[in-house]
Amino acid sequence: MAESAKVFKYSLSEIMVDKELSNYTCSICFDIIENKEVYQCKEGHWNCRQCWVESLSKKKECMTCRTQVNSISELSRNRFLEQEFDSKKVYCPNSFKISPDSNDYTQPLLIRDEIKGCNKIISINEIDQHLSECTFKCKFSKYNKLLDRIKEMETTIQKQQSVINKSKSSSSLSSSSSSSSSSSSSLESSSALNTTRASLSAEQRLNDLSDKLSLLLSQQKQPKYKNKWIIQNYSTISKTKTIGKSIRSPIFETSGKEFEVAIFPNGFGSAQKGFLSFFLYLKSLNTPIVVSYSLIILNPKNTNKNFIHSSQQVFSSTSSGWGKSKSLKISEITKEEGWLSADDKLVVEISVEVVSFNGPLESLK
Ligand SMILES: [Zn+2]
Ligand SMILES: [Zn+2]
Ligand SMILES: [Zn+2]
């Protein structure tokens, strides 16, 4: 999940004080000359550099007056126009908010936020500098969080869908009638989602996606992840892990989410001195999810002594790890007490189930 999330970005034409931009619009591509070099023929007909390059590759002339132009080096750069554009006034981007009338979450409408926004008017070439010191920071961070969550949920849905498709194509003999009917209904809801997509606002989209995901999860009952994590040479390794140092399990995945378990053989912090701490961590962050899990340190000698920690928690970017900071007494983790096998292994049984992808939306408000 290393791909960078889509981030909302205002467009310059939206934040300009004077919206009359025809003097700064390239007559070929119709873009404003933001971050563009402007070149002109000797008669003063100007276009952006890229448009000149393209048109000269087809015909060696100015497309307005047809004066011969053999190469771009025969043109002159119009820095005056570029600088004039750069000195145009804009409202600080943090003086806007997203209009509640926006009906396309990928291109939201901006309106001035006269009450809570920044009231600075600056020139285009001062935007970066001003944003670095503007005290009305991160006006769109909530919106970007929403976009992040939409994107992550779309990825998870794609994964779920491919799991369903795989199981559908590979196990036609064993699949029960109920699972095949649920697969077809999930495909229908997916196309319905696409057609209405453009008219959904970001939050509606998110709600829609999380409903769809719950539906998919209930249809395609992802088996709970269950496995044993065997730590070899435990007593040797644990000696090398001082307070706050951990042994990490391999990363595992369930319902499109990645997890790992960490054991702190000498405690998570000094407050847990003398005790083993262990935690389950969510590795894929951003969307709060509800996870039901259990971590069991097995005692092969006497299963009644198995140390069981099980719980249901919300895992999110701000609380990505849950577990037990004080579990077994370190002095008891010996072969004699039965926690370590004769060949010095410690075994942790891990069960993890994502029970809801519908994390609390209120946290964004
Ligand atoms: Zn152009
Ligand atoms: Zn010309
Ligand atoms: Zn500002």
65 C-alpha to ligand 1 centroid (Å): 17
77 has pLDDT over 50? yes
52 has pLDDT over 90? yes
More confident residue, 142 or 318: 318
d(CA 208, CA 210): 6
Q: Of the bound ligands, which one is closest to the alpha carbon of residue 96?
A: 3
Report, as an integer, the average pLDDT of 89-117: 81
pLDDT above 90: percentage of residues in the chain: 42
Q: Of the bound ligands, which one is closest to the alpha carbon of residue 30?
A: 1
13 C-alpha to ligand 2 centroid (Å): 27
**Contact call for residues 251 and 225 (beta carbons, < 8 A):** no
* 194 pLDDT tier (thresholds 50, 70, 90): very low
Q: Of the bound ligands, which one is closest to the alpha carbon of residue 38?
A: 1
User: Can you give the pLDDT at residue 169?
Assistant: 64
Q: Of the bound ligands, which one is closest to the alpha carbon of residue 69?
A: 2
d(CA 214, CA 227): 24
The per-residue DSSP string of 53-84 comes to HHHHHH-SB-TTT--B--SGGGSEE-HHHHHH
Q: Of the bound ligands, which one is closest to the alpha carbon of residue 138?
A: 3
130 C-alpha to ligand 3 centroid (Å): 6
Q: Of the bound ligands, which one is closest to the alpha carbon of residue 116?
A: 3
User: Can you give the pLDDT at residue 218?
Assistant: 59
Q: Of the bound ligands, which one is closest to the alpha carbon of residue 62?
A: 2
144 has pLDDT over 70? yes
* β-sheet bridge partners, residue 226: 351
Most confident of 53-62, 111-120, 152-161: 53-62
Q: Of the bound ligands, which one is closest to the alpha carbon of residue 67?
A: 2
d(CA 250, CA 223): 19
User: Can you give the pLDDT at residue 260?
Assistant: 94
Tell which residue, 90, 89, 75, 87, has the closest CA to residue 38: 75
* Pairs from 360-363 (Cβ < 8 Å, separation ≥ 24): 360/288, 360/314, 361/203, 361/206, 361/207, 363/288, 363/316
91 C-alpha to ligand 3 centroid (Å): 8
Most confident of 18-22, 173-177, 246-250: 246-250
84 C-alpha to ligand 2 centroid (Å): 21
126 has pLDDT over 70? yes
For 21-37, give one letter per residue: b (16+ CB within 10 A) or e: eeebebeeeeebbeebe
200 has pLDDT over 80? no
| Residue given tokens 């795989």 in the structure block | 166
Q: Of the bound ligands, which one is closest to the alpha carbon of residue 131?
A: 3
30 C-alpha to ligand 2 centroid (Å): 17
Most confident of 50-64, 114-128, 130-144, 159-173: 50-64
Token representation of residue 71 = 């190469």
Range scoring the smallest mean pLDDT among 1-10, 258-267, 302-311, 338-347? 1-10
278 has pLDDT over 90? yes
68 C-alpha to ligand 1 centroid (Å): 19
Residues with CB under 5 A from ligand 1 (ion): 26, 28-29, 48, 51
80 C-alpha to ligand 3 centroid (Å): 27
75 C-alpha to ligand 2 centroid (Å): 10
136 C-alpha to ligand 3 centroid (Å): 6
More confident residue, 223 or 299: 299
Tell which residue, 119, 114, 38, has the closest CA to residue 83: 38
189 has pLDDT over 70? no
Q: Of the bound ligands, which one is closest to the alpha carbon of residue 37?
A: 1
57 C-alpha to ligand 2 centroid (Å): 16
Report, as an integer, the average pLDDT of 159-183: 53
More confident residue, 88 or 159: 88
pTM for the predicted model, two decimal places: 0.46
User: Can you give the pLDDT at residue 129?
Assistant: 92
**Contact call for residues 117 and 15 (beta carbons, < 8 A):** no
| Residue given tokens 């000359």 in the structure block | 33
Residues with CB under 5 A from ligand 2 (ion): 41, 43, 45, 62, 64-65
User: Can you give the pLDDT at residue 203?
Assistant: 65
